[in-house]
Structure 1
Amino acid sequence: MNWSDVGSFLKQNQKGVAGLVGSLLTGNVVGAVSAGASMVAQATGTTDPDQALATLQSDPNALVRLEEIAAAREAEVNRHLESVMALELQDKQRSHSETQQTIRNGDNAEGGVKYVRPSHATLSLFAGIYYGLFTDTPDLLILSAFLTLPFTYAGLREIGKRNVLAFQSKK
């Protein structure tokens, strides 16, 4: 077990500042995880994630102590959360920029390379239409597999990313 398991427990079971400490522990910024682990260790009396989680689950006073500690250090918690969110945003922006650059490079390539993606998308679209029209009971999974390339080429990949991100944030 590690500190992210403790963070998941706190995020799911606590509201307020203690829930924010859980967000610190499940992040990927070392300073934020260290700050969250420090607060949990101070509240539970142990630096072992297994023992800390067991204490938080069994002792309501430990949760109250954590809430008090986190409230006293709320500015620090918020600063760490801001840094986590800024890094996640930068990562998403870099990923999007890299994807767009890759697409532009393919579109501007010399020779037959520039026709590969549009050709694959067009052939996949025709296969999906044919499968959907000339199959007695088309399987939705197979049909969606055929239509993935043309929809992606048409720019609908961004819609899918937004839906995945919204689904992950609800967890």
Structure 2
Amino acid sequence: MILIGFMGAGKTTVAQTLSKSLNIPCYDLDKEIIKKIQMPLSDYFDKYGETQFRQLEHQFLLKYYSIPGVISTGGGCIENYANRAILKETSNVIYLKSNFETLHHRINNDKMSLRPIAKNRTTEELKALYMKRLIYYETCATYTIDTDTLNTQEVSDRIIAMI
């Protein structure tokens, strides 16, 4: 199963909870990429740019999407047409949906996760990015869960009930 959604939607924490609940492996694509590149994503973005990162991200999606377990993607994974094609052909793609205000609040209050895409953007620019990606999330998802009012365990329980 693959989790998609904008940054701050809870993909990483929900994936970890699902992994424990279902006793299956968890693969966080961003963390897997960090292991490979041996540097923080923000440094990689600064050094090589977003386009290069998206190519790397695609390679990791190709590597993991067919392996049994739960995969947490980066929020921009759906920017790549080839990634969207993979997701559309895959069953159990779960879109963790939240409204922009909720996501913006989570992004601003998450001091543990430095998001390269968010660091130099205004609120208006982030909202425009969110609006641009919405259609991609919606068309790639097998299931959608609104996470605005749910905690991690509740989201995980709903996913388990759906699948």
TM-score (norm 2): 0.27
Higher relative helix content: 1
Higher relative strand content: 2
- Structure with higher Rg: it is 1
Q: Compare relative contact order (CA 8 Å, sep 6+) and give the higher one, 1 or 2.
A: 2
